[in-house]
């Protein structure tokens, strides 16, 4: 029976090993009027994953959180309720509360400098003029954290940027959005399961 005792001890040890945690942050603005806007793609990706996995968001301090467990990993999906310009407040709070390292956080954001649906996953970088990233950088005092930029293009006239990013997807974008959301869901899971470098190699430019 020695083999059984060895296996039992091994299983008990595995049971006590904490699951590796990741914070997946989708940036956006709260309120139904913003739900389908380009600026809310971060929220939309997390909502898609939650619907896919049959999990739901709970209103908590500084946001809404859903927990997804896959293959020994725990993914906390966070939608800050601070509005875009104060996203860093929620990010900092949840990183510290859950004792998650910055390298295990992925921030999903819209990007005007990329064509619609284009994907750029990066290990670090500037805020690129994005107010959500700017506030995260300010409060974390760092630009070194993984981010997933989802292209929304820059198809707007001069002086219309705010109206464009806070506008809803056009008909052609809506047609392609589901396929892009499916890939985005794969990216989030790959980040936790395969790591950042493998995820960048697989999905950047896809």
- Least Cα distance to 20 among 96, 98, 124, 106 occurs for 98
Here the tokens at position 15 are 């049971």
* β-bridge partners, 107: 25, 147
39 an active-site residue?
yes
Cα–Cα distance measured from residue 98 to residue 82, given in angstroms and rounded to the nearest whole number: 19
Other C-beta atoms lying within 10 Å of the C-beta of residue 143: 13
CA distances from 188 to 66, 141, 169 (A): 14, 24, 22
Q: Which of 39, 130, 147, 149 is catalytic?
A: 39
In angstroms, the CA 23 to CA 42 distance is 13
Any idea which residues carry the catalytic annotation?
39
């Amino acid at each position: 029976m020695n083999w059984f005792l060895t296996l039992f001890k091994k299983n008990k040890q595995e049971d006590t090993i904490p699951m590796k945690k990741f914070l997946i942050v989708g940036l956006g603005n709260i309120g139904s009027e913003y739900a389908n806007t380009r600026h809310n793609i971060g929220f939309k990706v997390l909502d898609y994953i939650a619907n896919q996995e049959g999990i739901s968001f709970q209103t908590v301090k500084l946001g809404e959180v859903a927990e997804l467990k896959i293959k020994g990993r725990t993914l906390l999906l966070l939608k800050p309720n601070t509005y875009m310009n104060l996203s860093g407040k929620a990010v900092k709070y949840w990183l510290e509360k859950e004792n998650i390292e910055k390298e295990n956080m992925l921030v999903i954001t819209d990007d005007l400098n990329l064509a619609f649906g284009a994907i750029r996953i990066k290990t670090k970088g500037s805020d690129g003029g994005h107010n959500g990233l700017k506030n995260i950088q300010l409060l974390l005092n760092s630009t070194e954290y993984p981010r997933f930029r989802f292209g929304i293009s820059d198809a707007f006239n001069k002086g219309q940027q705010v109206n464009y990013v806070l506008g809803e997807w056009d008909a052609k974008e809506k047609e392609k959005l589901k396929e892009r959301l499916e890939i985005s869901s794969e990216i989030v899971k790959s980040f936790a399961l395969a790591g950042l470098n493998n995820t960048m190699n697989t999905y950047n430019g896809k």
